[in-house]
Amino acid sequence: MILILLSCLSLISNSAASANTPEDFNQLIVKYGRESEDFDVVTDDGYILKLFRITGNESKQPVLLVHGVLDSADTFVIRGNDSVALNLAEAGYDVWIANCRGNKYSRRHVKLSPDLDKAFWDYSLHEMGIYDLPATIDFILEKTGKAKLSAIGHSEGNTIFYVLGSLMPEYNEKVSVMIALGPIAYFHHAKPFASDLIAVWPVVNGFYKITFTEEVLPDRSASAELARFVCNRGLLGYEACVIGIGAVVGCDKDEIEPDFLKRAVEYFPAGTSRKNLNHLVQITRSSGFAQYDYGLIKNRILYKSISPPEYDLANVTMPVALLVGQNDNFAVEEDAERLRDVLPNVADYHVMERKTFSHIDFVWGKHIPEYLMPILDDLLSKFS
């Protein structure tokens, strides 16, 4: 019911403005005492993606951070000096942070308008993998003069690397290591309440379809503003939000304290397409990890088959490190173990020691410098 309510509110206003617009990425970087620059990366299919870089040691191999579904580059810096991106910059890495198509920073196209053209939203994680990542990787390597980069992907931000490695295997040679935070490819054991939201998605999807709405939970939408309103209602609002977040992705109150939660919901959600969420739900309902299912007729036209083809993970030869949370309701251990057993080049498989470690602790956790950065630094140093 919560997802249905938020979606209905989103339909009422997909562009409701907030009275207090938070700092953008560049302002956050300045606030925390560093410098950044941003670039426009144009994909082969015309999307204009905003790419950020934190000024650091440019002699080092670049590290690309890629956010998860409904998120943006902000997720890697809103913890300030305790965040993943700023810790990496402090350690001297050349840090780049991507924004996938359709989020608040990448809501542009050379021809299509996100507000007027339905075709703008005709994408899923598939297009992110075969268009967004190649364009971003090539831009960074050309800009830095390096032959390879390292990558850290959170949630869907690592899913799209499996798409890339599967369908464009030449890019495996351009990635020294891909570190998967909350790995998602096989996505079949989501726990309640996450599984309940997946089950109700067809109803929510129906609301979007009959109202011709393709953009889901954009930044500053009415639904996002409702969540912010609730989470800012003092201790009671905090408890309600923690319960809601914990039910969906798992949550550890020691890692997501009241003041930070108020800040986090100012930056999340940041928008995606209906088709993207549809693709994720399709994966949960299948037995594997396949391309988008358009239905019997269109599948025959596009794929010459009644079913969409599976992504061949045997082609993903880049080294992949899988970091798994014991309290992750989305990227659960059973699915991560299956992914580990299928990928041909697993550099590390690490179950986070803290039993309450959740899906969002990888990017929002209070103690990122203690429990995550030593692992990241070790992997990056090993594969640089």
CA distance 135 to 355: 38
- For 121, the token pair is 């939203």
**Count of Cβ atoms closer than 10 Å to residue 88 Cβ:** 25
Q: Tell me which residue has tokens 């290591």.
A: 177
**CA angle, corner 155, sides to 152 and 157, nearest 5?**
50
Catalytic residue among 106, 150, 155, 221: 155
Closest CA to 37 of 58, 22, 21, 19: 58
DSSP readout, 193-236? Answer: THHHHHHHHHHHHHHHHHTT--EES-TT-HHHHHHHHHHTSHHH
Q: Please provide the size of the chain in residues.
A: 384
The answer to whether residue 106 is catalytic is: no
- For 319, the token pair is 């080294």
Residue 80 DSSP code: G
The answer to whether residue 359 is catalytic is: yes
Active-site amino acid positions: 155, 359
